[in-house]
Structure 1
């Protein structure tokens, strides 16, 4: 009798793990299919739907029910458009990034375009007058990797100095200079004094840029911040200053992403099916 109970428990556990794995694959697929939605929201909708349908009598149906609920939320989010301020700045930034990156560094360009898409999605958490600043900073945040601009080797600093010479506001330059924890890398590489030329804006606008960067893969696809940090470690290796800096700024990156996620939750209520 005891043996039968153990067999039933094992079978139940195996079935639960199978369903959980299907839901993880479902999340990866939905995040990629719905590039217009911030990935942290897709993750939350899946978690919420999974909890809601977790007691379904036929667990094999749970992934299907979860998918239907998430797709309903996606439709609501996609139709909830927010206005931009409509200045020239994002167009200038996009054209500049394309000129500097598209041919020389196509993968970096793909990442940049993905970050800019993400920035447009999360711009709804900002005042209207700051939304173009966010999108513009997203387009140019990595231009310092271009050979034409490379000087110090710290791409955020090289990019910010170029933007300052081009006449952009110090606010945009500062966002680029300090994006995604660049100050920790500057400390490790002896460039903190140079980076200090630019103010580090601590607030919602900076958080939004960090969110956009940290939820976009090197190929421009949406990803979670945890996957992004793991990918950085794999790609760069333990001795790279960017990886070493994660011991200093990893928690700060996570905190910025979580703050923007909470704001996104407040600006949109998922549909209830």
Structure 2
């Protein structure tokens, strides 16, 4: 008679073989991400009554994720489409208000992108879609959403530039310093310039429900919603002026075009 331990061992072996097969099958997807998808699917189906079918269910779910995986940035709209779909999957059902804000930021980015060089426009829109995915429970690790989101994107093979934009968006470095995660955030380069300013502008001029707002209105809403002891609010005293400067620089560019 097969023991429970033997059944578990056999299941582990089948999953390991499946992972090797899927890594070969989808060689354009980072192996670490294939592993992450497998573990997520396995946890979902772990309680199935007939464990023999679990590898089949896992394979089906991982293949669906792999088919939706982005190709390189050179394909333009493919990147922003993947970013939009990823944000929708992670946020829409679990955090509908965060999803509404994200969609509003992306709409803003599509409008603002015209002030950027052509090769940066798609990067802005894609970064806008994924800037807050680190709030999703599935990605939460450190609790600093910008860092958790950037690390997920890095595992997914997204470019260092977008990862850096997400990691440092809207003054995240000050928050990281307050919560002891400055070293973690330094894994990603903070590339200052028009693209960074534009993402901060889009985020800081979009309300929590996706509606356009002024930066002053956005800051007031953050303070009211989070309270004075929240690190995000405390960080405003450290780099609030930097956020305002980024918004003003982008606003000046918009007025010229």
TM-score when scaled to structure 1? Answer: 0.66
Which sections of structure 1, spanning at least 5 residues, go unmatched? 1-84, 268-273
Residue 254 (str. 1) matches residue 244 (str. 2): yes
Residue 134 (str. 1) matches residue 113 (str. 2): no
Residues 64-114 of structure 1: per-residue CA shift (max 9 Å, x gap): xxxxxxxxxxxxxxxxxxxxx843110000000000000000000000000
Which sections of structure 2, spanning at least 5 residues, go unmatched? 1-74
SS at match of 1:88: helix
Q: For the residues of structure 1 that align with 2:165 and 2:78, how far apart are their CA atoms?
A: 18
Structure 1 residue 199: Cα displacement: 0.2
Q: 2:193 matched to which residue of 1?
A: 203
Structure having greater relative contact order (Cα 8 Å, sep ≥ 6):
1
Q: For the residues of structure 2 that align with 1:87 and 1:237, how far apart are their CA atoms?
A: 39
Residue 118 (str. 1) matches residue 97 (str. 2): no
- Alignment match of 2:81 (pick from 91, 95, 108): 91
SS at match of 2:77: coil
Q: For the residues of structure 1 that align with 2:210 and 2:123, how far apart are their CA atoms?
A: 20
Q: For the residues of structure 1 that align with 2:115 and 2:245, how far apart are their CA atoms?
A: 16
Residue 220 (str. 1) matches residue 205 (str. 2): no
Residues 37-80 of structure 1: per-residue CA shift (max 9 Å, x gap): xxxxxxxxxxxxxxxxxxxxxxxxxxxxxxxxxxxxxxxxxxxx
Cα RMSD for the two superposed structures: 0.8
Structure 1 residue 249: Cα displacement: 1.1
Residues 166-209 of structure 1: per-residue CA shift (max 9 Å, x gap): 00000000000000000000000000000000000100000000
Q: For the residues of structure 2 that align with 1:207 and 1:248, how far apart are their CA atoms?
A: 17
1:42-191 aligned at under 5 Å gives the runs 86-191=76-181
TM-score when scaled to structure 2? Answer: 0.71
